């Protein structure tokens, strides 16, 4: 079967949200960013790429009827597992607890991406929630997008593991630009200070460009919302963390018109199936 690629006809901004270690709040960030962009009238597709440990659907309060494993096995088609989780927000669920998904080969990855590319819908954004670390799935997804957004926290392990991720993506895969999100900080000043320290270390040893996307403070409202696996933009839209996420979405949306038109879903498609 030859798949069509409707995304080629529409410029889609592709962004991965990734990290070197777990517990930094990637899923919280990506789910709330998606909701914020959708409230601006943008159509957003989330690919839950944390394969085997997927949980984006839980944050939106929905239950998926299938996952990426069903695509690989051929038991379902993409339109059968795609779910609308909010107005203008759609989700391709990963497979929570499915260990095999962390060991996909090239042909299985290709099957998934072909299925995504065959969706007869136009999206303004494709947001990919990757797993943590530097396994093949993580590197595979991060090398195919226009923007790699790395989440760091004040935890020293987050700092060093994020550096290691950027190092391997830069030296081995020639990714030379990264966006940095500082999460779980005390306030905006602490977030900026954390970014500056990280920037200094990275630029001392690596020839890459870093862009500061902003900081999300760990206020009490966000802590409670995360514990209950709810979105802070729904739980308390006026909290400091919700305001920070909306500012971040504004910055992303404002910069989208400056992104190279040669990228987008076409770049994503070609990179992951090995045609580029």
Convert the pLDDT of each residue in 154-181 to its tens digit. Answer: 999 999 999 999 999 999 999 999 999 9
The phi-psi region of residue 2 (left if phi > 0; otherwise alpha if psi is between -120 and 50; otherwise beta) is: beta
**For the chain, what is the mean pLDDT?**
84
Higher pLDDT, 108 or 143: 143
**Which pLDDT does position 3 carry in this prediction?**
36
Task: Provide the pLDDT for residue 268.
Answer: 60
In this predicted structure, what is the pLDDT of residue 99? 45
Q: What is the pLDDT of residues 76-100, one digit of tens each?
A: 888 888 999 999 999 998 765 444 5
Identify which of 8-12, 75-79, 234-238, 271-275 has the greatest average pLDDT.
Answer: 234-238
pLDDT top residue among 5 and 176 = 176
The C-alpha atoms of residue 11 and residue 97 are separated, in whole angstroms, by: 34
CA angle 151, 134, 46 (to 5 degrees): 55
3-state helix, strand, coil in the chain (%, to 5): 45, 20, 35
pLDDT of residue 53: 62
Q: What is the mean pLDDT of residues 15-25?
A: 92
Question: pLDDT band at residue 257, thresholds of 50, 70 and 90?
Answer: low
Share of the chain above pLDDT 70, in %: 84
**Residue (of 254, 226, 252, 265) closest to 33 by Cα position:** 252
> What digits encode the pLDDT tens for the residues 205-235?
999 999 999 999 989 999 999 888 899 999 9
Band of pLDDT at residue 258, cut at 50, 70 and 90: low
Task: Compare 79 and 110 and report the one with higher pLDDT.
Answer: 79
Select the more confidently predicted residue: 247 or 51: 247
User: Which CATH number applies to 6-272: 3.40.50.2300, 3.40.50.300, 3.40.190.80, 3.40.50.1100?
Assistant: 3.40.50.300
Share above pLDDT 90 across residues of the chain, in percent, rounded to a whole number: 54
The mean pLDDT of 111-125, rounded to a whole number, is: 79
Per-residue CA distances from 92 to 132, 173, 197, 238 (Å): 18, 26, 36, 29
**What does the pLDDT read at residue 93?**
87
CA separation for the pair 245, 144 (Å, rounded)? 24
Whether the CB-CB separation of 7 and 269 falls below 8 Å is answered with yes
The predicted pLDDT at position 114 comes to 74
Where are any strands of DSSP class E within the chain? Answer: 13-19, 44-49, 83-86, 89-92, 125-132, 147-152, 177-185, 209-217
Whether the pLDDT of residue 17 is over 90: the answer is: yes
What is the pTM (predicted TM-score) of this model? 0.88
């Amino acid at each position: 079967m030859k798949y069509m690629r409707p995304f080629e006809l529409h410029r889609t901004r592709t962004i991965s949200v990734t990290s070197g270690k777990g517990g930094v709040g990637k899923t919280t960030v990506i789910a709330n960013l998606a909701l914020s962009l959708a409230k601006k009238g943008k159509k957003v597709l989330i690919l839950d790429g944390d394969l085997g440990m997927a949980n984006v659907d839980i944050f939106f309060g929905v239950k998926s009827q299938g996952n990426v494993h069903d695509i690989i096995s051929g038991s379902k088609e993409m339109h059968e597992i795609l779910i609308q989780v909010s107005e203008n927000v759609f989700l391709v669920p990963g497979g929570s607890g499915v260990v095999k998904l962390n060991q996909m080969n090239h042909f299985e990855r290709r099957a998934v991406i072909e299925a995504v590319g065959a969706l007869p819908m136009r999206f303004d954004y494709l947001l990919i929630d990757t797993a943590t670390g530097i396994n093949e799935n993580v590197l595979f997804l991060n090398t195919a997008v226009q923007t790699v957004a790395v989440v760091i926290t004040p935890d020293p392990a987050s700092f060093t593991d994020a550096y290691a991720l950027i190092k391997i993506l830069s030296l081995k895969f020639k990714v030379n630009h990264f966006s940095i999100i500082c999460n779980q900080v005390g306030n905006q000043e602490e977030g900026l200070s954390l970014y500056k320290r990280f920037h200094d270390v990275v630029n001392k040893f690596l020839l890459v460009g870093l862009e500061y996307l902003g900081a999300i403070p760990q206020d009490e409202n966000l802590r409670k919302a995360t514990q209950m696996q709810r979105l802070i933009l729904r739980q308390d839209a006026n909290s400091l963390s919700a305001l920070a996420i909306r500012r971040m979405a504004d910055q992303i949306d404002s910069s989208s018109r400056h992104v190279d038109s040669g990228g987008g879903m076409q770049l994503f498609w070609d990179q992951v199936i090995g045609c580029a």
